[in-house]
Amino acid sequence: MLDLRGFLQKAKEDGDLLELEEVDWDLELGTITELLVEKGGAALLFDKFKGYPEGYRVATNLYGTVRRFAVAIGMPNTSSRMDIIKRWRALDFTPVKPVEVNTGPILENAYFGDDINLYQFPVPRYHEHDGGRYIGTGVAVIMRDPDEGEINVGVQRVMVHDEKTVGLYISPGKHNALIRQKYWSKGESCPVVMDFGPAPLLFLSAASHVPWGISEFDWAGYLANEPIEVIPGKITGLPVPANSEIVVEGECLPPEVELRIEGPLGEWTGYYAGGERQEPVVRVKALYHRNKPILAGVPPIKPPRYAFAVQVRTTPFLWNDLEKAGIRGIKGVWEHEAGGGRMITIISLKQEYGGHAMQAGLAAVGSHGGGYMSKLVIVVDEDIDPTDLNDVLWVKANPMPNFRGTRFTNAHEILIWASKSKKSRYSFNHHAMKSLNGGKQMRSDWYLPLCTGSERIKIDGKKAHATQKPEALLYRVLLASTDPGSSRFASRTDDQG
């Protein structure tokens, strides 16, 4: 399977990698990353950080364009967004289990106990108001379900507290949150492996809504057509990917034992939504890294320019769920980038009967991936390309005359209204909102969908942009002038996933 440095090498051969030196890990790297993400620009590889020896590297803007996403998953670099979505639906999925090996590049450097120091890596602070240095953004967090034995992999942010301790923030309902709770309920710590420079396919699978019961390792193996090589971890026995860049083993302590202030981190909605709060910590027991290690950075960036083709990790699974629910006639689905690939759903449908469009819209809100923080579902006729917002809005601007109710209409907007949401205890992350809002319940006046975006904005209006330091602006000028007409960036902008 293509590892991170192999992927960067391919990007380089494709003229799609920018290598920078002597950048500050504190905000400057984050700012440059954001500028390049916004341009749909090249992948970035940083080296020679001030105060760090050469060869301790960070890579960002990895999977932010359709072109690089395709390369990362082994598809031709000319693949379209819909080509990728269809492949990621994995309709003929069969698990390809990882294989155990005795050794691999990840063991080139190994540290245990007192010898562990996470500050040996130039861990970035990405955005102006971030509460810490985040070693885990392009991360794969690996846990084993104690009941079923299944390995789950998710992307969950990891903040450095000290040399041997990190904070791990997992949102409610995520598979790793459910697994971690199983250990805690027995009064045990949860064993965990955190991979800070995973193979692209492992990271992208971990970021995706792979259904419960399917290991993201098996999913990635299926997509790669070959198993991932893993080494059983000395401390946890969990699989340590043999070709990853930086991996730690550790234990996530029960909240009764220890909590520490985590966050805030500029988040994927473009806001500091979560604030800072008491969160569980992981004690790091073992640290492994390759020679000249590369830390993967996928910092959240304001939609639609999130540094990742966010749509791909949700759309294919929603499409599958809709068909499983018996909805026929679906021509395309798109979780629009402006909603961070989650909050705005567009379905293109060949309507076959009265109520069909409404049924599709409601099924979307009722499905696992489609309902998580859902805000708006738009169902359009099958001649409309759901990935093209102009096409979709064009329908709205030109409604068909004489349509009535929900029957064979040209376009539906499915908005779900509630009468009792003020008292609802089930607002997404309501505990977080409570802590942010002086202990008050989150206000949810009129939306039923488990929405928080607009409420969050009211609570804390800080945007997640990195500071545009003068040095970073200099880089922007430099980049534009070294690339005549910025044609490379311009064409990539159209491409942005």
Ligand X SMILES: Cc1cc2nc3c(=O)[nH]c(=O)nc-3n(C[C@H](O)[C@H](O)[C@H](O)COP(=O)(O)O)c2cc1C
Element (DSSP H or E) covering residue 459: helix 453-459
285 binds Mn ion (CB under 5 A): no
Which helix or strand (DSSP H or E) is residue 216 part of?
Answer: helix 216-224
What is the H or E stretch that residue 246 is in?
A: strand 246-252
Q: Which long-range contacts (CB under 8 A, 24 or more apart) does 237-240 make?
A: 237/191, 238/142, 238/143, 238/144, 238/151, 238/191, 238/192, 238/193, 239/98, 239/100, 239/142, 239/151, 239/193, 240/106, 240/193, 240/195, 240/288
Number of chain positions touching ligand X (CB under 6 A): 18
| Interacting positions 271-300 with ligand X (CB under 6 A) | 298
171 binds, among ligand X, Mn ion, none (CB under 5 to 8 A by kind): ligand X
Pairing label, strands 109-112, 99-100: unpaired
Answer yes or no whether residue 157 interacts with ligand X by CB under 6 A. yes
Q: Does an H or E element contain 487, and which?
A: helix 487-495
- The window from 172-180, 385-393, 399-407, 468-476 that contacts ligand X (CB under 6 A) reads 172-180
Of these partners, Mn ion, ligand X, none, which one is at the site of residue 18 (CB under 5 to 8 Å by kind)?
A: none
Residue 157, binding choice from Mn ion, ligand X, none, Cβ under 5 to 8 Å by partner class = ligand X
Q: Which does 61 bind (CB under 5 to 8 A by kind): ligand X, Mn ion, none?
A: none
Q: How far is the CB of 340 from ligand X (least distance, A)?
A: 10
Whole-number minimum distance, CB 406 to ligand X, in Å? 31
Q: Which is nearer to ligand X, 308 or 334 (CB)?
A: 308
Handedness of CA 108, 113, 118, 119 (dihedral sign): negative
Residues in 133-162 at the binding interface with Mn ion, rule: CB under 5 A: 152
- Binding partner at 308 among ligand X, Mn ion, none, C-beta below 5 to 8 Å by kind: ligand X
Q: Quick one: which segment of 147-155, 181-189, 382-390, 426-434 binds ligand X (CB under 6 A)?
A: 147-155
Backbone CA torsion sign across 86, 91, 94, 95: positive
Binding mask 102-141 for ligand X (x = CB under 6 A): -----------------------------------x----
Kindly tell me which residue out of 125, 175, 305, 430 binds Mn ion, with binding defined by CB under 5 A. 175
39 binds, among ligand X, Mn ion, none (CB under 5 to 8 A by kind): none
Structure tokens of 308?
Answer: 């990742």
Q: How many helices (H) and strands (E) does the chain have?
A: 15, 21
Of these, 67, 175, 289, 290, which contacts ligand X (CB under 6 A)? 175
> How many other β-carbons are positioned within 10 Å of the β-carbon of residue 398?
10
Q: Which residues pair with 141 in a beta bridge?
A: 154, 194
- Kind and range of the H or E run holding 141: strand 140-144
Q: Which residues bind ligand X (CB under 6 A)?
A: 137, 152, 154-157, 169-171, 174-176, 207-210, 298, 308
Q: Which residues bind Mn ion (CB under 5 A)?
A: 152, 175
